[in-house]
Every structure is written in structure tokens, then in C-alpha cells.
Chains A and B, each alone.
Chain A
Amino acid sequence: MAEAFLELRDVKTHFPVEQGILFRRRLGTVKAVDGVSLALPKGEILGLVGESGCGKSTLGRTIMQLIPATSGEVVLGGVNLTRLSRTELRAARSRFQMIFQDPYASLNPRMTVFDALAEAIRTHQPVTPRQMPERVGELMARVGLSPRFVNKYPHEFSGGQRQRIAIARALAVEPELLIADEPVSALDVSIQAQIINLLAKLSREMHLTMIFISHDLSVVKHICHRIAVMYLGRIVELGAAADVFERPLHPYTKSLVSAVPIPDPQRERLRQRIVLTGDPPSPISPPSGCPFHPRCPFAVADCARIVPRLEPFDRGQEAACIRMREINQENIQHPTNGNGGGLTTDGHG
């Protein structure tokens, strides 16, 4: 396995829930991220999926150091980000950048494209005013924006073009890690395709490591090497994108995959669907044992008692379910492959 470029070690992000203005009482804790460990080799695109409220965006923001981790470590290229002082962190920020769902909200409406990009370039390295137009032009070309837009304001662009500007701004500091939080969810299908192609191209050309947060499994499957599935603050399944999608191990992943509508009427009508009942439970008072057991069609008495850990299955795919082997009998392979347990990513591109 390639050496980890980004490593999360038992990261927890908890928020206190308080009530009252003068006498604040602590009512409980929301465990938005509750013990996540992950290792990404350089150049990998990891998809982070789950329902709303599962903690995927909080995890992204915790890695970005926008929300302090309650405990655990975030190590990027050998540097433990959680230990840095404010000034050190500021300097380190050029190594990791983030793009968001709504590009309009993340661009200053009073700055032209040139101003917005020039500002980002200057924070990273000194560039003389004479050189600046060339640098801005390079950046715009890289994300597929025509240089004639250089003096326009954000409101003059369509959603897809705005997302390109946001991506250009993130790339201005030449980051090594890019966290994309639902970058295509607000865009129309045809525009989504453009942004997905762009992100895939950039990751190849710049050797970017990327965390792609999305609730859209088919997008994630398309662009990512590996997928991590989150439920109530924990990773419940991790594996190569095609494996997780085509051979989900965890009951939650099974239901998630079966809920994705397939744009093909014949396949859609034949498939078996596992329809979950109810909503995800409240993260303030999560269920005992496996947090998924109240909604799980495979749950047994032990599931309410034992907190499952991620355990390897094969081909680097792992899941946190005590019945994993039992319920995936048909998938157990007899010893033919020599690559069990190791973290692997399928070929780049």
C-alpha cells in the first residue's frame, strides 16, 4: 500500500447541547463524528456518503480545521494539523482547500473574477501586478473558463460557471488536498457532468488527493476510487467504489444502494428494494450497540448490545456489522486472491 498522505486517527467531533441563557444547562452531546479512522494515499479520491445528519460534512470541516476536533488526530503529509498554532495553521492552509455546494454563497458578490482569484493567489505567493493577469489567466484556463469573463461579477454567471470559479479559487494556492462538499448537488444533470469531468481531470493532472462528500451514490461511484459510508458519525463500510456499490456488505449500505433510482425502466422494475422504515435516530441519544439496529432488517438481539467495529471482508472491503459474514455468505470467496485485508485502490482514472 502506498504511504498515507492524509491520515485520520480516531477523530471525534462532539457538540454540547445546552439550554438557557443565564444558567446554561448541559442537556447532552451530539456526537457528530464519533471515532473515524481513515488513511488516504496521495492522489486518491475518496467518496464520503450517507444520509443528511450522518456527520459527513462535519467530518469534512473537521479535517479542514474549520471545526476543532474534540479528540483524535488529523495528519496531512506528516504534519498533525490538530496540534498547530493559529499562525502555523494559517500557513499550512494552502495545502488543503474546500469547495461547497452553493458556489454563489462562497463568492464575494462585489469582487470580479480577477479580484477573487488574484486575492487567493497573493495569499499563497508574492506575484507582481504585472504578472498577475497571466497567473489569473492560467487558473481560468485550467478550470475551463474563458478569459473574456475576467472582469465579470459572480451574479453574471450560471451555477456551473460559478462552481468553476470556486474551484479555481481553491486551486489558486496549489493545494494537495481538496475537500468537495456536495459540489454538484445544486446543479442540473448536464452541468453536473461538466463539473464531475473537471474534478476528475484536475485530480489526475495535479495529483490532487480528494474527499468527495455527496449523498448521490451514482456520482460518487463514478468519480471515486474508494467509498466510505457513514451512519450516525461512524464509518460503517469502506471499500473500492465498484465493490461497495455492487456488493455492499453492511445492511445500511445495502439499503442505501437499493434506494438509488436507476435510470433504466427494465432494471428498475426487476430489482429488489430494501425500503428502510423511519428516519435516522437522533444523534443526541443514539441507540445502544450498533446504531443502525432499530432500522436494520437483519438485526438480532446481540445487535443492541455489541458495538461493531470495522472488520475486513476481502479485497480491502470492510464493514462494521457483527453479522457481516453470515449475511454475505454468497459473497465469501474461497482462498484464491492474495490481497486480503490490505487497503487498495483501483487504477487511477
Chain B
Amino acid sequence: MNASPSSALLSVSNLRTSFYTRNGVVRAVNGVSFSLGKGETLGIVGESGSGKSVTCYSLMRLIPQPPGKIESGSALFDGIDLLTAPEELLRRIRGKRISMIFQDPMTSLNPYLRIEDQLIEPLLIHERMPRAEAVKRGIRALEEVGVPDAARRIRGYPHEFSGGMRQRVMIAMALITRPELLIADEPTTALDVTVQAQILELVKRLQQELGMAVIWITHDLGVVAGFCQRVLVMYAGRIVESASTERLFARPKHPYTRALQSSIPALQSKGAELYTIPGLPPDLSKPLPGCPFVPRCAFAEEHCKQPVELMEVEPSHHSACLRVQRGEIQL
């Protein structure tokens, strides 16, 4: 859609993921399509419950099934459909060619195992490397991400590391097999801004060295601005806007993006009343035929209740707002 299919590393189309709960079927991801080129950095922004994490978990087939279910769609990674590939084939891709880092490094490290054993596991499994050699590479990987005294600390346990250091260990682990795609799910949200800046610089540098593509999931528009080339904005399980970072910030083409921008203190003059989006995000277990943002939108009109698709409104700039598509409003 955005990148030409030949250069695309990952191409997702019409992904739908639902959760079957006691309170009905929650359509967490509802028809998401995007593609990602080799070496590209894509940001996915949205508030809690917008489906940004579920999208990426679905790609890695990490959704617990049941209650979750991938209803439809395809995700082609180098010609392999990640959603239907046999488990055996997927296992050779996950942790080797696609790696993932999560928000909370403490819950994704095993507290009973030394860093060494967890860090080099991908090398032992995917590359069948002799242990001694793998340990050497593990120490080098820790040094690369800026863990001081790596040769000694690799023998330590997760609780002996600070939050920022643990996230570095997670990054070292994710990158040790030189993946082609890194999926990062809010990896810096729990960290201090100073440590966040260190981690962002680190991933940027490693990305240039390895030429890998990155999907960065975040709710922080500031992180996106400095780090991503292209951005998807998600709301209620759908992509409502996609554009290059410059375009999205300079000329947003969806009222939701506009509203998000206006509610950030950093962009407003001091002491001014912040713009607030009225109401709450919709209940995803109820059918939402038209634009899901209608009840909270300052520009909504009666015809906004009819179904709307993501469409190109300017070159490489897609919006799912009917009124923008028809040229009725300028944001």
C-alpha cells in the first residue's frame, strides 16, 4: 500500500483479531493493512485498547488462542505468510529473523536463570553455535548495548540489574541473531527520560549498523517524532491515518490525530487550557459500522456514520476520515 510490494519486507493485509470473552466478541484489530520496507522505521501510535499491541502480537502468533482468534488476513514476511505458516517454520523465524522487545523487561526475563543462559539461548537454538563461542558473542552483545563490565555481569541474575540495564539486556538478546525486523512494544515507557534517550540512540545506531527494519509501538508522539520515518495512527482497532512522520505532524489528515496533538502539553503554550477529547473510546464488543471516532469528533456529521476505508488523500498520506476524503474539511 505504502511501499511498493517488491521492496516490502513485511506486508500485512486485512488483519482481523478478535477475543471471545464472556461479554461478547471484542474486535481488537479490525482490518489492518500496512507494509514495511527493508531497513524502514515504522511507528504505531494509539491509546490503550487501540489494537497497536494486538496487531504485532498477531504477526508473531503470540495471541493466546482461545480466547483470541485471528479471523482473517495475511502477513507476508519474505514470501512466508506468518499467520498460516506451520509452527515449525515460524519457530525458525521468531527470535531469529524477527525479534521482539516488550515494555516490562522484568517479566520477560526468567528470574531463576543467569543472564548468560537467557542471552545466548537464541544462538544455541538457531545457529547451533558451540557454547564457548556463544558466550563470547554474548559478552560482545552486552558491550555493544553499553552494559559496563560485561564479562562479569553476564554471570549475574536479572534482579541484579536496574530497569534500564535490564532493557539493554533484552535488546542485546533480541539483536544477537542479527534480525531483519525488530518489533518494539513500548520498550521505554517504564523508563526515565534520560534512560529512554540512551535506548533510542542505541537502537538507532544498531539499526544503521545492521540495516534492520523496526516497528516501534508507542503512545508517545514525542518518541515517534524523533525516531520513526513513517507513522500509523490506530483507533478502535483500525488504522485511521498513515503518513511520513513529517507530513503527519505538519499536516494531520484525521481529526483524531489532530485532537491527540492538541492534548499534549509540550505543544501548547504554558498554562493554556489543554484540548480534551470528550467521551471515551468505543466498546469494541459492539458493532461499529461507520467511523469509530464519530461520537467524540468535533467535525462529525450525519454521513460520517456510513462505512469508511483508509484512502490516499495526498501522495503517500492515507486517512480514514470521510470528510477529509471528500475535501469538506481542512484540519
Contacts and interface: CB of A to CB of B under 8 A. Distances in A.
Interface of A: 51-52, 158, 188-190, 192-194, 196-197, 200, 215-219, 221-223, 241-242, 255-256, 258-266, 268-269, 273, 275-279, 349
A194 B276 contact: yes
A333 to B, nearest CB: 21
Contact of B194 (A188, A196, A255): A255
Given A200-B271, A279-B162, A52 B223 contact: no
Contacts, number: 125
Contacts of B266: 218, 221-222, 260, 262-263
B30 interface: no
Contacts of B273: 197, 200
A263 B249 contact: yes
Contact of A256 (B194, B263, B265): B194
A279 B265 contact: no
Interface string B232-253: 0000000000000110011000
A315 to B, nearest CB: 16
B193 A221 contact: no
A217 B223 CA distance: 14
Given A193-B276, A219-B265, A256-B194, A261 B223 contact: yes
B148 interface: yes
A91 B146 CA distance: 52
Taking each of A193, A256, A258, A278, which has the highest tally of chain B beta carbons within 10 Å of its own beta carbon? A193
A189 B162 contact: no
B270 A242 contact: yes
A223 B273 CA distance: 10
Taking each of B164, B192, B221, which has the highest tally of chain A beta carbons within 10 Å of its own beta carbon? B192
Nearest to A266: B246
Given A193-B275, A215-B193, A259-B194, A265 B225 contact: yes
Contact of B226 (A194, A219, A261): A261
A276 B271 CA distance: 30
12 contacts: A51-B192, A193-B263, A194-B276, A197-B273, A200-B273, A255-B194, A263-B225, A264-B267, A265-B250, A268-B226, A279-B162, A279-B164
A221 B194 CA distance: 17
Nearest to A255: B194
B194 A276 contact: yes
Nearest to A217: B193
Nearest to B272: A222
B261 A259 contact: no
A218 B280 CA distance: 24
A232 to B, nearest CB: 13
Contacts of B148: 278
Interface in B193-220: 193-198, 201, 219-220
Contacts of A219: 265
B268 interface: yes
Contacts of B221: 189, 263
Contacts of B48: 188
Contacts of B309: none
Nearest to A347: B271
Nearest to A190: B277
Contact of B263 (A52, A192, A217, A264): A192
A219 B267 CA distance: 10
B245 A221 contact: no
Interface string B162-201: 1111000000000000000000000000001111111001
A189 B225 contact: no
B268 A259 contact: no
Given A189-B219, A193-B274, A218 B164 contact: no
B264 interface: yes
A193 B272 CA distance: 11
B40 to A, nearest CB: 15
B117 interface: no
B259 interface: yes
Given A158-B280, A218-B266, A189 B260 contact: yes
Contacts of A188: 47-48, 219
A196 B270 CA distance: 12
Contacts of A255: 194
Contact of A222 (B162, B220, B268): B268
B222 interface: yes
B230 to A, nearest CB: 11
A259 B196 contact: yes
Contacts of A194: 276
A276 B270 contact: no
A265 B245 contact: yes
